[in-house]
A and B are shown apart, each in its own frame.
Chain A
Amino acid sequence: MISKKDVEHVALLARLELKEEEKEMYTRQLNDILKYAHKLQQLNTEDVTPTAHVLPIKNVFREDQVGDHLPNEKALANAPDKEGNYIKVPKIM
C-alpha cells in the first residue's frame, strides 16, 4: 500500500508540487494501479533476463567530427528568459 506520505515523497523526487486533493487522488489511483500490477508477482521470473530494449544493439559509435550545429540565437529562441547568450533562471543558491 502506498500512503499519502509516500506520494509526497515521490512527488518531491519527481519535482511536482501537489495540492491536497491531488495527493489524495494520486494515493487512491496509484494504489489501484499497483494493485493491478501486483499480478506480475504470480510469475516466477528467477532465471529470466530482463528486457530493457528489444534490439541487440549495444554501443553505437561514430567518428568524432564537428558537424552542423544551431546558431546561438536559434538555440535560445525558446528560452523563457535570457540575457545575452545565456538562459536566465531565478537564484540557485
Chain B
Amino acid sequence: MSLNRMTAHELHELMLKKEVSAVEITNAVYSRIDEVEEKVKAYITITKEQALETARRVDEKIAAGEQVSPLAGIPIAIKDNICTNGVKTTCASKILYNFVPPYDATVMNKLNARHAVMVGKTNMDEFAMGSSTENSAFHTTRNPWDTERVPGGSSGGSAAAVAAGECIVALGSDTGGSIRQPAAFCGVVGMKPTYGAVSRYGLVAFASSLDQIGPFTKDVTDCALVLDAICGHDPLDSTSVKYQHPDYTQYLQNDVRGLKIGVPKEYMAEGLDPKMRRVIEEAIVTFSNLGAVVEETSLPHTEYALAAYYLIAPAEASSNLARYDGVRYGYRNVEADNVLEMFMKSRSEGFGDEVKRRIMLGTYALSAGYYDAYYNKALKVRTLIKQDFDKAFEKYDLLLSPTTPGPAFKVGENTADPVQMYLQDIFTLSVNLAGIPGISIPCGFVDGLPAGLQLMGKPFSEGTLLRAAYTFEQNTEFNRQCPAF
C-alpha cells in the first residue's frame, strides 16, 4: 500500500521501526497532490517547504533516539478558518484573501508542539457557511468518489483531502454538521467534540456558541489520536472547559456488549433516502449482533431544530462578521472617500452571496421588534431540543442515526434554493444546539457513494463514542475502501 493511503498509527509504527522516514511520507503526500489536486481542488494554500522542514526535524529526532508523539511526522491538512502563524488564512472569502495571521490558533500550537506536518490549508464554504464547498470564493472542491459531486461542507476540502490521500489526517470545524456531513459524503471518520472540549482560540468565529474544531481521519484509532492532541482547557478561550480529558486511545476496545443505543425515530423518518435507511438498519443489526441493546426512542422537538438553528447561527454570525470592515486587515475598497462608504463597499464586495444572506437574516432576527419573535423564540426552542437529549441520555449511552439524508449530491444541484441546501444539515445540527459530541463513521454505500452513520453522546462522552465506533469499524470493512481514482 502506498504511504499516503496509510493511517497515522500505521505510519508512526513504520517510522519508529525506521522502515520509512517522515520526509518520505511527506513526499508521498505531495506526489499524490501533484497527481490528483487538479481534479479534487481540496486546498487553497500548500505549505510544502515548511512541511519538509518539519519532517526533516522529526527524522533527526527519531535518529537521535528521542521519543516522538504519535502525530510527529504525520501530514495533516488544516481548514482555512484556523489561524496559522505566517500562513495565509482566508476562510475561503475575498474579504480575507490576503490575511496572514500573526499568531497560531491553540490547536496549531498543540499540533506544532507534537511535530505534526502541516500539508496546507483546505478549501471550505466561505466562513464555514454551506454544505458543499460551493460557497468558496476561490473554487469548488470535488468529491473523490465522484468528481461530479460535492464533498459536502463546510469542511469539504479537509474531508476530500483525507479521502483522496492528499494528507493523512485533517482538522475541520463543525457549527451545524460541517465535519460530520463531509466526512459522511467522503467516506471518512469525522468528529465534532463536546462544546468547550477543544479551544476555539484562533478559529475564525462563525457562530460562537456552536463552533467546535475536530478531526477527519481514515479510521477511529487516528480519530482518538488527533483528539488526544487537540483537546484540553485553554485560558485564551473563555468557553473552553476546565476538564482533564482522558487518554482517548484507552477507549479503542472491540466491545459494545451491554451498551444502550437509542435510535431517534424522527431521524429515520421523512426526508431520509430509502437506500440510506437500509444501510442504517444494517448498521443497527451489526450493533445488536455485537451485543449492544438497540431500541427506538424519540427526540420530539427534532422537526424544530433546523428553524431554530437557522435563526441562532445567522444571528451570531451577523455579530461576529461585523468586524470585517476593511480597516485593520483583509479586503478594502480603496475608492470610497469616507469611512462609512468604505465599510459598505468593502463588505459588499468582500462577502459572497450566502454570507450576505446570513448576515441579513441574522441582523433581521436581532433587530428591534423582531428579537423576541425570532431570536429569543429560537433560543427557547434550543432549550427544548437540549432537554430532549438530556432525557434520552438518562436511558441511553448513545444515540444512533444517519449522518445525512442521502449520499453526496451533484455540484449545482442545491444552489438555487437556500432552504433545500439547509436541509442537508437536518440530522447534524441538533448536536451543535445541544453542545454534545457526535461522530460520523463510514457504514456502507448508496449507489456506489459512501454513507455515514452518526453516533451522538452525552457531553464529554467522546470515549464512549470512540469505543462504539471502533467496535463497528473492527467488525465491518467499510472504512478500508478508498475511492478508485
Interfacial residues, chain A to chain B (CB-CB below 8 A): 2, 6-7, 10-11, 13-18, 22, 26, 29-30, 32-34, 36-43, 45, 48-55, 57, 60, 62, 70, 74-75, 77-81, 87, 89-92
Determine the distance from Cα of A70 to Cα of B361 in the docked complex, in whole angstroms. 35
Q: Closest Cβ of chain A: how far from B323's Cβ, in Å?
A: 11
B92: interface (CB < 8 Å): no
* Complex interface: chain A residues within 8 A of B308 (CB): 40
* Complex interface: chain B residues within 8 A of A17 (CB): 344-345, 347-348
- A53 interface neighbour in B239, B343, B373, Cβ under 8 Å: B239
Contact B102 A39 (CB under 8 A): no
Contact A13 B363 (CB under 8 A): yes
Interfacial residues, chain B to chain A (CB-CB below 8 A): 98-100, 102-103, 195-196, 209, 235, 238-239, 241, 301, 303-304, 306-308, 310-311, 318, 322, 325-332, 334, 336-345, 347-348, 351, 356-357, 359-361, 363-364, 367, 373-374, 376-384, 386, 417-419, 422, 434-435, 459
- A26 interface neighbour in B329, B337, B360, Cβ under 8 Å: B360
Contact A18 B418 (CB under 8 A): no
Contact A36 B337 (CB under 8 A): no
The main secondary structure of chain A at its interface with chain B is: loop
Contact B384 A79 (CB under 8 A): no
Contact A91 B348 (CB under 8 A): no
- B328 interface neighbour in A39, A48, A52, A79, Cβ under 8 Å: A79
Determine the distance from Cα of A87 to Cα of B344 in the docked complex, in whole angstroms. 18
* Complex interface: chain A residues within 8 A of B380 (CB): 43, 45, 48-51
- A30 interface neighbour in B322, B329, B361, B377, Cβ under 8 Å: B361
Apart from A70-B102, A78-B102, A80-B332: 13 A-B pairs, beta carbons within 8 A: A2-B364, A10-B363, A14-B359, A36-B419, A38-B307, A39-B303, A40-B304, A43-B380, A48-B383, A57-B196, A77-B102, A79-B329, A80-B331
Determine the distance from Cα of A17 to Cα of B334 in the docked complex, in whole angstroms. 15
The main secondary structure of chain B at its interface with chain A is: helix
Contact B337 A90 (CB under 8 A): yes
Known: A10-B367, A53-B239. A30 touches B327 (CB 8 A): no
A-B contact count (CB 8 A): 166
Contact B342 A45 (CB under 8 A): no
* Complex interface: chain A residues within 8 A of B328 (CB): 78-79, 87
Q: Closest Cβ of chain B: how far from A55's Cβ, in Å?
A: 5
Determine the distance from Cα of A15 to Cα of B351 in the docked complex, in whole angstroms. 12
* Complex interface: chain B residues within 8 A of A38 (CB): 307
* Complex interface: chain B residues within 8 A of A22 (CB): 356
Q: Closest Cβ of chain B: how far from A71's Cβ, in Å?
A: 9
Contact A91 B337 (CB under 8 A): yes
Contact A10 B419 (CB under 8 A): no
Contact B327 A89 (CB under 8 A): yes
* Complex interface: chain B residues within 8 A of A79 (CB): 327-329
* Complex interface: chain A residues within 8 A of B381 (CB): 40, 43, 45, 48
- A91 interface neighbour in B325, B339, B419, Cβ under 8 Å: B339
Contact A75 B102 (CB under 8 A): yes
Determine the distance from Cα of A48 to Cα of B382 in the docked complex, in whole angstroms. 10
Determine the distance from Cα of A70 to Cα of B382 in the docked complex, in whole angstroms. 39
Contact B102 A74 (CB under 8 A): yes
Q: Which 9 A-B pairs have the closest CB atoms?
A: A54-B435, A50-B379, A78-B329, A80-B332, A45-B380, A60-B238, A48-B380, A17-B344, A14-B363
Contact A53 B329 (CB under 8 A): no
* Complex interface: chain B residues within 8 A of A89 (CB): 327, 339, 342
Contact B102 A26 (CB under 8 A): no
Q: Closest Cβ of chain A: how far from B430's Cβ, in Å?
A: 12
Nearest A residue (CB) for B329: A78
Contact B360 A14 (CB under 8 A): yes
